[in-house]
Structures are given as structure tokens and as C-alpha cells.
């Protein structure tokens, strides 16, 4: 199973590397600070500090999953586990994205009312943020031909693509552009379950490439297949990046926030849950 790091880390990354347990989350819990809670796509794991697995709990065996004050309560048929942590909502959202049957009937993440006018407002804000990037000449677009392009051709620049890009999304120098093209190939490979994570992380020391990668991930997470494994992997990668580094360009940061706010409205697919997790970074 591929490692899928979903939310902010509360332990050094070396713990996850040593564990080799395909964990999405490894977190210290209380009242026993020596016990770790591990989360992956199929089960919960109770882990000691030396990374010895004490017990595994398949999601199918969990009867109820609840949040009480600042505690996550996991009820089995004959056992109850209570974990005190400030990340209750994040953990709950992650677990239920893997196993939706455990969702509560009420959640802090639901909007009281999402009207069509509210959706339209967020969409306009998203488009305005995108247009600011164009008007400030950041994007690697031929603005002289924009008016002649069809709406579909233009929007495809900002939506998911299964084919590699042939040039960077931002205007970059030659060496950076080649690196940007290779990075996009990595994103395609990783989200399809074929590529490692390390080459992607190595490229993030360059601010121009960091901003480029954010645009690429925003593009790839803007998919018409919100429940696909590929889309989930893209959002998990976006979340991983946001937990380490944020865009250095203010307009790209604004575009990212607008992108997240728009997808936070999605209360049907897991994309909405992922977007809410990233927004909390």
C-alpha cells in the first residue's frame, strides 16, 4: 500500500519512515503519552514509542466514532478507546474519508446553508484570483491569443490533465522550466501509484518551483472525478506540501485559498473533506 500523508505531522518524519506501516497519521495521544495512534487506509493501529504495534483495529470493527469535547471516542463491541488530542476534527475527517460509514450525523464542517448565490460568489472569487495571475503576467500564457481561444481550451489550462505538460505554468527560466515539466510527470506518476515521493520533495528548495508546484497541484486537484483514487492522491500530495511550505507569491497564495474555499463546499465527496483539512494548515 502506498504511503499517503494526509495532515500535519506531530512527530518527526523519521518515525514514519521507520514504521514502514503506510501510515497517514502518527500522533501522540493522552492520557498515555507513550502510546501512538496510527491511521492508514484500512485500519487504526495502536503503536508504542519504539514503533511496536500493540493492536490493529480494522474500520469494519468500529461500531461508532465520536468526538466528545477534545477527545476522539472509538467504540468497539466490547471495548472503548478514548484519545485526547486537539486534532479530533482532523483525525475524524481523515478516518471517515477512508471509511465513510463512520461519519457522524452532525459535524462542525457542514455549512448551515449553501445557496446557489453563495456558490456563484465563491466561483467568481476563484476566477478573479486566477485572472489576477494572468493580468500580472505571471502565467506562461500567450495573452495575445486568449480572446481567440474557446472557453473549453482556456479552462483546460487550469483543470486536471492526464497528459504531461509541455511547458511550465509560470514564466520560468530554462532550467526551472525543465524541472517544472519533470515535476509534473512525477505528480502524474505518484498519483497513479507508480512513483516515489523523494524526487518531488527535493525540488521544493527553489521558490519559483515551489510556486509552480502549487499551480500544478491546484490544476490536478480540479478534477471531474472527485471520488477517484487518483484525485485522493492528488489532494493528499497538496496537503503534504501545505504542511511543509506555503506559496511565496501572494497572488498564488490567494488563488490557493480561493481554490480551497470553493471545494470546501463539497459535502458529498471526499474532496470537500480534503479541502477542509488543508484549510486548517
The CATH number linked to 246 is 1.25.40.530
Are residues 157 and 221 located together in one domain of the fold? yes
pLDDT at 197 over 70: no
Is the residue at 217 inside a domain?
yes
Cα 242 from chain centroid (whole Å):
8
Mean local confidence (pLDDT), 108-137: 81
Is the residue at 262 inside a domain?
yes
For residue 254, CA distances in Å to 131, 132, 272 come to 12, 10, 19
Are residues 136 and 274 located together in one domain of the fold? yes
Are residues 90 and 126 located together in one domain of the fold? no
Are residues 177 and 260 located together in one domain of the fold? yes
At 259, list the grid cell.
481554490
Are residues 196 and 243 located together in one domain of the fold? yes
Are residues 247 and 141 located together in one domain of the fold? yes
What is the domain extent for residue 90? 13-102
pLDDT band at 10 (very low <50, low <70, confident <90, very high): very low
pLDDT at 257 over 50: yes
Is the residue at 134 inside a domain?
yes
The whole-angstrom separation of Cα 13 and Cα 11 is 6
The domain boundary, picked from 54, 79, 102, lies at 102
Are residues 84 and 136 located together in one domain of the fold? no
Q: Could you tell me the pTM of the whole model?
A: 0.60
Q: Answer for the pair 65, 82: CB distance below 8 angstroms, yes or no.
A: no
Q: Nearest CA to 55 among 35, 28, 26?
A: 35
* pLDDT of res. 81: 76
With both helix axes pointing from N to C terminus, report the angle between 88-98 and 270-279 in degrees, rounded to the nearest 10: 160
Are residues 157 and 182 located together in one domain of the fold? yes
The domain boundary, picked from 77, 102, 127, lies at 102
Is the residue at 27 inside a domain?
yes
DSSP secondary-structure letter at 148?
T
The domain boundary, picked from 102, 134, 162, lies at 102
DSSP secondary-structure letter at 1?
-
Q: Answer for the pair 275, 258: CB distance below 8 angstroms, yes or no.
A: no
pLDDT at 139 over 80: yes
Is the residue at 107 inside a domain?
no
Is the residue at 55 inside a domain?
yes
pLDDT band at 5 (very low <50, low <70, confident <90, very high): very low
Q: Is 102 exposed, middle or buried (0-12, 13-18, 19+ CB in 10 A)?
A: middle
* Total count of domains within the chain: 2
Amino acid at each position: 500500500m502506498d504511503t499517503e500523508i494526509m495532515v500535519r505531522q506531530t512527530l518527526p518524519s523519521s518515525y514514519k519512515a521507520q514504521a514502514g506501516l503506510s501510515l497517514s497519521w502518527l500522533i501522540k495521544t493522552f492520557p498515555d503519552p507513550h502510546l501512538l495512534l496510527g491511521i492508514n487506509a484500512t485500519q487504526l493501529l495502536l503503536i508504542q514509542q519504539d514503533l511496536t504495534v500493540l493492536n490493529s483495529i480494522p474500520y469494519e470493527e468500529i461500531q461508532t466514532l465520536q468526538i466528545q469535547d477534545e477527545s476522539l471516542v472509538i467504540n468497539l463491541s466490547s471495548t472503548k478507546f478514548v484519545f485526547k488530542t486537539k486534532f479530533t476534527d482532523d483525525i475524524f475527517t481523515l478516518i471517515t474519508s477512508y471509511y465513510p460509514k463512520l461519519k457522524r450525523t452532525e459535524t462542525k464542517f457542514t455549512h448551515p446553508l449553501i445557496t446557489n448565490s453563495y456558490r456563484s460568489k465563491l466561483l467568481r472569487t476563484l476566477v478573479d484570483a486566477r485572472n489576477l495571475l494572468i493580468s500580472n503576467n505571471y502565467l506562461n500564457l500567450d495573452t495575445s491569443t486568449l480572446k481567440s481561444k474557446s472557453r473549453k481550451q482556456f479552462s483546460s489550462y487550469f483543470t486536471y490533465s492526464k497528459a504531461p505538460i509541455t511547458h511550465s505554468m509560470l514564466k520560468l527560466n530554462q532550467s526551472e522550466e525543465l524541472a517544472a515539466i519533470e515535476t509534473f510527470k512525477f505528480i502524474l506518476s505518484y498519483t497513479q501509484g507508480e512513483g516515489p515521493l523523494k524526487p518531488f520533495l527535493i525540488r521544493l528548495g527553489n521558490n519559483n518551483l515551489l510556486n509552480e508546484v502549487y499551480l500544478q497541484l491546484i490544476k490536478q486537484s480540479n478534477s471531474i472525478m472527485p471520488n477517484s483514487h487518483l484525485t485522493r492522491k492528488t489532494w493528499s500530495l497538496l496537503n503534504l506540501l501545505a504542511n511543509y511550505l506555503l506559496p511565496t507569491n501572494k497572488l498564488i497564495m490567494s488563488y490557493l485559498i480561493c481554490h480551497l474555499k470553493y471545494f470546501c463546499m463539497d459535502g458529498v465527496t471526499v474532496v470537500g473533506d480534503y479541502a477542509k483539512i488543508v484549510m486548517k494548515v
